[in-house]
């Protein structure tokens, strides 16, 4: 009789853990009380899926952490090979101009000198007009702030006037 009560306690524990449903618990209990061997019941698939889901979630979290770490790491610098020299890199030309650059422009400068002052930024041609021997070209450059810009008018390749709005 002690065996049956121990087995009933084990069945109740399995039911409380969710391994056995109420129907499975009742069938096992009736089989024990009638003293007939019951066919063993496999654990519910839901719990295995839940445990597998937890494992998948842990693996997914680890992959995300590794991806974040990998994206924040700087790549190792390549070793320098002696006897070879790297090709000189082209200077980086900013898409934008600043107020400090604008202030350095002086009347009478050539367009090439102005481009040099503006960090190599050639701007965009707004208009060009030729009347007799006088060629007039208006250029515009964008600033870093919203709507910030400057323009400059060159006559025969010499800065004649400049204006800016919102440059920083």
Average pLDDT, the chain: 82
Contact in structure between 102 and 164 (CB atoms under 8 Å):
yes
> According to the model, what pLDDT value does residue 61 have?
85
Which 3 state secondary structure label does DSSP give 146?
A: coil
pLDDT, mean of residues 97-109 = 95
**Averaged pLDDT, 141-150:** 89
Task: Report the pLDDT averaged over residues 49-65.
Answer: 75
Confidence of residue 82 (pLDDT cuts 50, 70, 90): low
**Would you say residue 153 has pLDDT above 90?**
yes
- CA 103/CA 117 separation, integer angstroms: 10
For residue 137, the cross-strand partners are 128, 154
Q: pLDDT at position 2, please?
A: 62
Is the distance from CB of 26 to CB of 14 less than 8 angstroms?
Answer: no
**Dihedral of the alpha carbons of 46, 47, 51, 54, in degrees to the nearest 10:** 60
Is 90 or 146 the better-scoring residue by pLDDT?
Answer: 146
29-47: pLDDT as tens digits: 888 888 755 555 555 555 5
Give the residue with greater pLDDT, 157 vs 37: 157
Phi and psi of 155, rounded to 5°?
Answer: -115, 125
Q: What is the DSSP string of 101-125?
A: HHHH--TT-BHHHHHHHTTT---EE
In angstroms, rounded to a whole number, what is the distance separating the alpha carbons of residues 162 and 143? 14
């Amino acid at each position: 009789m002690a065996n049956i009560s121990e087995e009933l306690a084990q069945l109740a524990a399995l039911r409380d853990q969710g391994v056995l449903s109420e129907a499975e618990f009742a069938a096992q209990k009736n089989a024990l009380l009638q003293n007939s061997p019951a066919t063993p019941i496999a654990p519910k698939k839901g719990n295995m899926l839940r445990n597998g889901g937890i494992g998948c979630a842990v693996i997914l979290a680890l992959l995300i952490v590794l991806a974040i770490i990998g994206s924040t790491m700087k790549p190792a610098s390549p070793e320098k090979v002696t006897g070879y020299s790297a090709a000189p890199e082209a200077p980086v030309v900013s898409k934008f101009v600043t107020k400090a650059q604008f202030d350095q422009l002086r009347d009478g400068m050539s367009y090439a000198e102005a481009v040099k002052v503006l960090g190599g930024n050639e701007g965009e041609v707004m208009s060009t007009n030729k009347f007799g021997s006088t060629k007039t070209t208006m250029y515009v450059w964008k600033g870093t702030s919203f709507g910030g810009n400057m323009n400059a008018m060159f006559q025969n390749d010499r800065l004649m006037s400049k204006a800016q709005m919102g440059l920083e």
